[in-house]
Amino acid sequence: MNRLIRRLIPGLAVAALALTVPAAPALAAHKLLLLSIDGLDWRYIRDRDALGLKIPHIRAILAKSRYADGVVGVWPTITWPSHTTMITGVRPDQHGILGNASGPPDPALSYWSFDKVKVPAIWQCLNAAGRTAGAINWPVTVNAPVAFDLAEVYASRNGDSSDMATVEKFEIPQGLAAQINAVYPSFRQQWLDDRSRTLATIYLLKHKQPDLIATHLAELDSESHAQGPFTVNAKAVVERTDELIGDILKAMPADYDLALVSDHGFEEIDHAANLKVMAAADGVTGAMKIAGGLVTTTDPAVAAWLAGQSGKGDVGRAVPHDEIMRYAPQLGDAVAAYEPAPHVVFGAAASGPAHGKPGNKGTHGFWPTRPDYHSIFLLSGPGVTPGRLGTIEMVSIYRRLQDAMGLSCPK
C-alpha cells in the first residue's frame, strides 16, 4: 500500500506514511473486581423503578457502565456451568462443567475441583502474564491455580451459604481465613455467607490487591428459589446485596475496574407438569429426556404428542434445531425439543398425578433464549466509556474481561 501511495504522491516521506497507519493501541493493564450476584435476573435492572428497588449503588454503577441489555446464557442455565463459561469463554459441553457439584466435597468427585475443567481459564492466562488472582466463593475453584481462594465448597449448607470448616479445609493459602479474621473478627462464623464473602473481598482489596478478584454472592438465589423472584422477599435481598456492594465500593482502589455479572435469570413457578404421566395417559410411551426447563425426544411419536400439547398450558415453544445446535449440540440427535409454558417446570415422574407442586416457588435452568430470561453484565472503571451493548451472549464475557484487564489469552 505504501508503494501505491508513493506513486500517487511523489516524495512523500516514509515517516509521514507511518502516521497514516497507526498501530493498534496496547490494552491497558487494569486490575479487575469481577462481582457475580447469583440469580440477579436482568429484569431487576431493567424494571428497577417499576419494582421500586432501593439500590443506589447498583444504580450509580449502571450510570457509568458499559452494559448489556441482558445476557443470553448457556445450557444448562445453572450456577456452576455459567460461572465457568464466564471465565473460559466456551459452552458447558466444551469446558466440561455440566451441573452444580453434589455429594461429599472430594475433589476427585463431581465438579468441586478446577481439575474437572477441560479448557484453560482466566486463572492460567493471568499466571502466564505474571499477574495474580483471588476467588471468593467462585464455583469450581478447589485446586485452582490462584493466589487466594475461599472456594464454593461445602459438606453442609444453610441456603446458599457454605460451612466454613469445609471452606477452610480447601483454602489457598492455608491460613487465609485466619488472616481475614485477624482484621475482621466477625468473619469466622459457622457459615461463609454474603456478609463474610463481602468481608473477604474487602480484605483482598485492601491488603493483597491481586490483579483479579472474582467474588460470588449467592443469597439472592436461595431466596428466589424459596419465595419466588421479584417478590417482596427477593427484592429485600437485592437491596441488602446493594448495601454489601456499597461496602465493597468504599474499599475498592481507584485503579480497579468493576464487572458486575450474574449467572442466570429466574422464573416464578406455579406447578410441575409430569410429561411422562401425561403422555402415558394418551397411550404414548416413547423416550423423553426431561430437565426442568426442556424436554427432548428422539421418538417421532413423542414429538407428535408434544406438538399437540404445545400451547395448551404446560408445554410451551418448540425450540428450533438450529438453537439446539448452537447452545447444546450434545442434544443434536433430538427430533423435537420444547420449553415449558410460563410458570411451569417439567417433572420427570413416570407415575402418579400429571401435575404436582413444584419443589420451589422460583427456579432457573430454562432454555437460554427464553424471552426476558437473561442475566446481567455491567463494566465500569478507568477508561470505560458508558453506553449500551445491546443483548450479548455469555460466552463473550470472557473476552470482555480480558480486554478490561489488558490480557490477550489464547483461544
Hunting for cell 432454555 — which residue is that?
Answer: 367
pLDDT on residue 27: 53
* Same domain flag for 42 and 154: yes
Say if residue 400 is in the same domain as residue 332: no
Specify the CATH number for the domain of residue 91.
3.40.720.10
The pLDDT value given to residue 15: 32
Does residue 258 fall inside a structural domain? yes
Residues in the chain with pLDDT values less than 50: 1-26
**Judgement on whether residues 161 and 260 belong to the same structural domain of the protein:** yes
Report residue 25 CA to chain centroid gap.
30
Tens digit of each residue's pLDDT (9 = 90 or more) over 257-308: 999 999 999 999 999 999 999 999 999 999 999 999 999 999 999 999 999 9
Examine residue 78 and state whether it is found in any structural domain, yes or no: yes
**Beta-strand relationship, 289-291 and 294-297:** antiparallel
Question: Rounded to two decimals, what is the model's pTM?
Answer: 0.92
Let me know whether 336 and 383 are in one domain: no
For residue 16, is it within any domain? no
In a domain, residue 278? The reply is yes
Q: Which of 134, 109, 110 is nearest to 122 (CA)?
A: 134
Determine the residue type at 291: A
pLDDT value at residue 6: 35
Same domain, 340 and 398: no
Do both 251 and 274 map to the same domain? no
Does 256 reside within a domain?
yes
Instruction: Enumerate residues 6+ apart whose C-beta is below 8 A from 42.
Output: 69, 70, 71, 262, 265, 372, 374, 375, 376
* Residue of 86, 221, 203 lying closest to 141 (CA atoms): 86
Among candidate residues 241, 247, 201, the one with its CA nearest the CA of residue 218:
241
Q: Are residues 279 and 314 in the same domain?
A: yes
What pLDDT, on a 0 to 100 scale, did the predictor assign at position 411?
A: 78
Residue 319 shares a structural domain with residue 199:
no
Question: Structurally, how many domains does the chain consist of?
Answer: 2
Residue 149 and residue 44 share a domain: yes
Residues 242, 98 within the same domain? yes
Listed residue (344, 381, 369) closest to 70, CA to CA: 369
Instruction: Please choose, from the candidates 360, 275, 357, 351, the residue with its C-alpha nearest in 3D space to the C-alpha of residue 316.
Output: 275
**Are residues 47 and 89 both part of a single domain?**
yes
Of the candidates 69, 107, 98, 86, the one whose C-alpha atom is nearest the C-alpha of residue 216 is 86
Sequence-separated (6 or more) residues with CB below 8 Å from residue 182: none
Query: Is residue 26 assigned to a domain?
Result: no
The answer to whether residue 10 is domain-embedded is no
| Angle in degrees, CA 146, 402, 377, rounded to 5 | 100
Would you tell me how many other CB atoms lie within 10 Å of the CB of residue 26? Answer: 8
Q: Is residue 366 part of a domain?
A: no
Q: What is the pLDDT of residue 274?
A: 97
Q: Which domain holds residue 296?
A: 270-359
Q: Say yes or no: 259 and 274 in one domain.
A: no
